[in-house]
Amino acid sequence: MVSKEELNGKVLSESDQHKLIWLGTDEQENEGVVQTNQYLIIHKGKGILLDPGGVHLFARVVSAVSRYIPLESIEHILFSHQDPDVSSGIALWMGVTKAKIYISNLWLRFLPHFGIVDNSRIIGIEGLGGKLPVEFHLQCIPAHFLHSTGNYSFYDQESRTLFSGDIGAAVFPKGGQYVLVTDFDSHMKYMIDFHRRYMGSNKVLKKWVQSVYNLPLHYIAPQHGAIFPEAQTKRFLDWLQNLECGIDLLDTIYKQ
């Protein structure tokens, strides 16, 4: 269960100049809508938002962010991919901050459908990712076809956190949400159906796992479900690289 104090957010790691915050949740907001996680990094007083979410939860996320940092100090917003639960609030976020937006260059032409006005603030990430042109030491790791065709994970070297987007997503039963994974075996049942159907294939999962396996990891922080603390990260990656999914299971979604 998410505790009362956690509903408004939780500081996951904190040092002199660097803070990582999970931005809370709202049971009512999640009624009939896929639950999402939003994250805020504050580095030397400047903010970076990761997958801040759709129009639906904009007001709650704005007030959660404002508890930690003034909106005008948000300088960058990162989108793992183009789905509405990640990025449909983009026009609203551009209205209340002066942030630059980063997303796969495959999705640049699609974003105006969410009501964008200022293209000069939107930066396309090239296929192989790499270091982002921001002062936060964030690395951009390709996660294409997991599930989106133009998809990135982001690695924060300071907090040693891998923001994995839809990879690691869990779907909880009503009232069953928790913030951190403590028992991987029981958590797996909330992840398996989503990963089998949404993720591209085992071949792609293996590629991604290889690219992140040796990173120092304090957390793997997905966009849905619960966060994997250090003790659970290797269990999760090992499970993932052996999972059959997507086109490995074509016969279960096509008749012939």
Contact residues: Fe ion, CB under 5 A? 83, 85, 166, 223
Provide the minimum distance between the beta carbon of 201 and Fe ion in the complex, in angstroms, as a whole number: 16
Instruction: Annotate 216-242 with DSSP letters as a single string.
Output: --SEEEESSS-BEEHHHHHHHHHHHHT
> Which one, 42 or 86, has the nearer CB to Fe ion?
86
**CA torsion, ordered 109, 54, 68, 176, to nearest 10 deg:** -140
- Exposed, middle or buried, 96 (CB in 10 Å: 0-12/13-18/19+)? middle
Rounded to an integer, what distance in angstroms lies between the CA atom of residue 220 and that of residue 131?
19
> Which one, 156 or 166, has the nearer CB to Fe ion?
166
> Which one, 69 or 227, has the nearer CB to Fe ion?
227
> Which one, 37 or 42, has the nearer CB to Fe ion?
37
Give the ranges where 101-170 is alpha helix by DSSP (H): none
Provide the minimum distance between the beta carbon of 215 and Fe ion in the complex, in angstroms, as a whole number: 22
> Which one, 83 or 156, has the nearer CB to Fe ion?
83
The structure tokens listed for 46 are 């400047």
Torsion region of 47: left, alpha or beta (phi above 0 gives left; psi -120 to 50 gives alpha): beta
Provide the minimum distance between the beta carbon of 28 and Fe ion in the complex, in angstroms, as a whole number: 20
Provide the minimum distance between the beta carbon of 133 and Fe ion in the complex, in angstroms, as a whole number: 25
Provide the minimum distance between the beta carbon of 5 and Fe ion in the complex, in angstroms, as a whole number: 26
Maximal CA-CA distance, the chain: 59
